[in-house]
């Protein structure tokens, strides 16, 4: 069975991170990379100030409900090195973003191991990231709103991958 990997880049909200980790656990995601300034749960040898690590960990736990423990994850400031490493392992890297070159998510069929990238709640993914991914997909919008909360978008994208892999 192919692997599903999630990259959550420059997410601002700890509650979105917790929800994303919980969804990843529920859908059997193999690995979650929390990149850029995305907040992350406490680590054994955390280099953040203890009170800050404890506060962020508690906020993430509020929505993750333990998925921060049961889901394999790591933190990296540099998304480009994560993407480069995954590509070197043969992983197809796909951005979930509205862009002129994006294709509708329902028509997307993964080729094998796949990493899905979701980005900042307001600005999405930077152009330089979109330039290094293999494909860009978007969730078609049928209503008057043009986007979803990043946690809901990640859930839809991950679910779509699980039913196609």
pLDDT attached to residue 103: 97
* Mean pLDDT, the chain, whole residue set: 96
Segment 47-57 shows an average pLDDT of 96
Segment 82-106 shows an average pLDDT of 97
**CA quadruple 33, 134, 97, 152: dihedral positive or negative?**
negative
CATH code, 4-164: 3.40.1280.10
pLDDT attached to residue 85: 98
Q: Confidence band (pLDDT; 50, 70, 90) for 164?
A: confident
pLDDT digits (tens, 9 = 90+) for 113-129: 999 999 999 999 999 99
pLDDT digits (tens, 9 = 90+) for 146-155: 899 999 999 9
pLDDT attached to residue 130: 98
CA–CA separation, 118 and 26 (whole Å):
18
Torsion, Cα 150 155 117 31, to 10 degrees, reads: 130
Please report how many Cα atoms fall inside a 13 Å half-sphere around the Cα of residue 1, on the Cβ side.
11
Segment 96-117 shows an average pLDDT of 96
Coil, strand, or helix at residue 128? Answer: helix
Backbone angles phi, psi at 56, to 5 degrees: -65, -40
Radius of gyration of the chain (CA): 15
Q: Where would I find the beta strands (DSSP E) of the chain? A: 4-9, 31-35, 73-76, 92-96, 103-104, 114-118, 135-138
Residue with tokens 């330039």: 131
């Amino acid at each position: 069975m192919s692997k599903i990997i999630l990259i959550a880049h420059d997410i601002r909200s700890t509650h979105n991170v917790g929800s994303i980790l919980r969804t990843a656990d529920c859908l059997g995601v193999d690995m979650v990379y929390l990149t850029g300034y995305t907040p992350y749960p406490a680590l054994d040898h955390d280099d953040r100030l203890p009170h800050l690590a404890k506060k962020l960990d508690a906020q993430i736990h509020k929505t993750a409900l333990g998925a921060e423990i049961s889901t394999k994850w790591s933190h990296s400031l540099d998304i480009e090195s994560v993407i480069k490493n995954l590509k070197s392992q043969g992983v197809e890297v796909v951005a979930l973003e509205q862009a002129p070159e994006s294709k509708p998510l329902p028509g997307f069929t993964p080729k094998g191991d796949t990493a899905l990238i979701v980005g900042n709640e307001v600005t999405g993914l930077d152009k330089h990231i979109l330039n290094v991914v293999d494909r860009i997909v978007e969730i078609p919008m049928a209503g008057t709103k043009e986007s979803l909360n990043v946690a809901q978008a990640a859930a839809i994208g991950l679910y779509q991958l699980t039913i196609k892999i």
